[in-house]
Structure 1
Amino acid sequence: MEIATMDAQYAALTTGAAFQLRPTGGMLRMTDDDRIDFLQRMTTNNMAALTPGTSAVTILTSPVARSLFVFTVVCEHDALLLLPALGETEVLLKHLRGQIFFMDKVKIEDVSAHYARLRIMGPEARSTLMDLGYEASSADGAVEAVNDVILVHQ
């Protein structure tokens, strides 16, 4: 039975569309006036180039350029959503809070309890999303929000 299930999963991934639930994938919400400058100082990607409805993968580095965290940043009008690697939400939150100086206007909260993360993959992933009513842009970094679902193309 398990082999058939694995065969079916592999077939969905290689010829159709496969969903992967990510229960340990959390989400952080960063708000206030200095949120973009704050991330710009510590990460490798150009956070200032993000506009609402776009996203970017970035790397948070140590002062000696050691990679500490890799995560996706989703830009909204009044906030940045941070999608850390699986299982790293709490440790990323703690690290970021430790980097906020008294003059920084930055607030960070763990909003994982309000969201569920999943991944859809496979050659038919885009058409499956379109069948569900999404535009499903093929542009890397595009973000689409429909009915309380945030779709990030990577």
Structure 2
Amino acid sequence: MLEDLREIQKQSGVILTENQLMIESFHNDSQGFKLAYNGAVICDRTHWGLLQLTGEDRLRFLHNQTTNNINALKPGQGCYTVFVNSTGRTLDLATAYVTDEAILLLVSPNRRQFLLEWMDRYIFPMDKVQISDISQQNAIFTLMGSETNKLLTQGGMNISNLVELPPENHTLVTIKNEFITVANGSGLAIPGYTLIVPINQAKIVWEELIKLGITPIGDRVWEQLRIKQGRPFPDKELTEDYIALEAGLWQAISFDKGCYIGQETIARLNTYKGVKQRLWGVKLTQLVDPGTPVILDGNKIGILTSCIEIEQEFWGLAYVKTKAGGAGLTVIIGEATGELIAVPFVTHEYYQPSGV
């Protein structure tokens, strides 16, 4: 089934990874990056992981495993949530979609098997929850850009009810008489939608969306957008060296939900304003290898975690000590000079729980 999707995508001209699981580029990176903001693009994220939790304890189980208030979600709702270890260190940023019968969990491609095994370790004999990997049964498409809604409406795809809903809320929509799940949110700080499509319908849905004038983009453009937007990624910004609050993932954390794995560390840092480093965007004068120290006045104040060229400019993400400063700070990173930039995906705000 994935082969059928790849065959139709090849008609647009693609660069595929050797195993054909990921599209690197459609030979339109510069145009695609611009259209992600002021046009309409579609990105095939089928190589990401899609896990499914079923059983009557599924909400409670995921609630206890991650940072957000999963118990409060109703069918049709969703949210970002972070997997952390026992000391609050980051494992992955996931998106949970609650349906009538399951929770669908969109996870990073390099965390799919890890999180499946991680959650399985915490299932006790009395827990009524089952976890399965349904990645190969579904395609994941992301739509974004200012013209997306207009093109979808012209194509007869009614998403007007989604526009007004909170991010990650979702509904069933028909394309060519095929039912697919459409969620409000692109996975970045750009308005858009995430589509979960049964793999046997993926070719039809992709064809119809391309016919509407939506431009396909590859993973290279997604990575440019990710860094420019500031979404942290596993093995780069999300590692066991960093805590979820340092990564700026406040929107994915509930401070009222009670106990969960890593809760004590995260709550303490919030209560005592103890975040010692924060994630920032960096505009650089040249490319620099991730892992290079961030220097201010001859002293190391942080580390570069990602770096990429975008439209003949150089952008990165870096953790920087809170006391050193923030947006506008000029630093040295390797042979480059950098300026710290606020990025829209992350926040650095402390939260005051109700009743405090």
Q: What is the TM-score of this pair, normalised by structure 2?
A: 0.40
Partner of 2:183 in structure 1?
152
Backbone CA RMSD of aligned residues: 1.8
Q: Aligned to 2:159, which of 116, 135, 144?
A: 135
SS in 2 for 1:27: strand
**Which deviates more, 125-134 or 31-40?**
125-134
Contact kept in structure 1, 2:55 and 2:128, CA below 8 Å: yes
Segments of 5+ residues of structure 1 without an aligned counterpart are none
Q: Which runs of 4+ in 1 moved over 4 A?
A: none
Number of residues of Structure 1 aligned to a counterpart in Structure 2: 152
**How big is each residue's C-alpha offset from its partner over 1:126-145, in whole Å with a ceiling of 9 and x where there is no partner?**
23333341315122222021
Deviation, structure 1 residue 93: 0.8
SS in 2 for 1:78: coil
Deviation, structure 1 residue 86: 2.7
**How big is each residue's C-alpha offset from its partner over 1:28-61, in whole Å with a ceiling of 9 and x where there is no partner?**
1100011011011121111011111111110122
Q: Aligned to 1:46, which of 69, 83, 103?
A: 69
Separation of aligned partners in 1, 2:153 and 2:78: 20
Deviation, structure 1 residue 153: 1.1
Whichever residue aligns with residue 159 of structure 2, its letter is E
Separation of aligned partners in 1, 2:169 and 2:151: 17
Partner of 1:97 in structure 2?
120
Q: Aligned to 1:62, which of 85, 88, 92?
A: 85
Going from structure 1 to structure 2, the CA distance change for 1:6 and 1:64 (only over 3 Å counts) comes to closer
Partner of 2:139 in structure 1?
116
Separation of aligned partners in 1, 2:106 and 2:145: 21
SS in 1 for 2:96: strand
Structure exhibiting the larger radius of gyration computed from Cα positions: 2
The yes-or-no answer on 1:17 pairing with 2:17 is no
Whichever residue aligns with residue 20 of structure 1, its letter is C
Going from structure 1 to structure 2, the CA distance change for 1:5 and 1:60 (only over 3 Å counts) comes to closer
Percent identity of paired positions between Structure 1 and Structure 2:
28
Separation of aligned partners in 1, 2:151 and 2:71: 33
Contact kept in structure 2, 1:26 and 1:117, CA below 8 Å: no
SS in 2 for 1:116: strand
**Which deviates more, 74-83 or 17-26?**
17-26
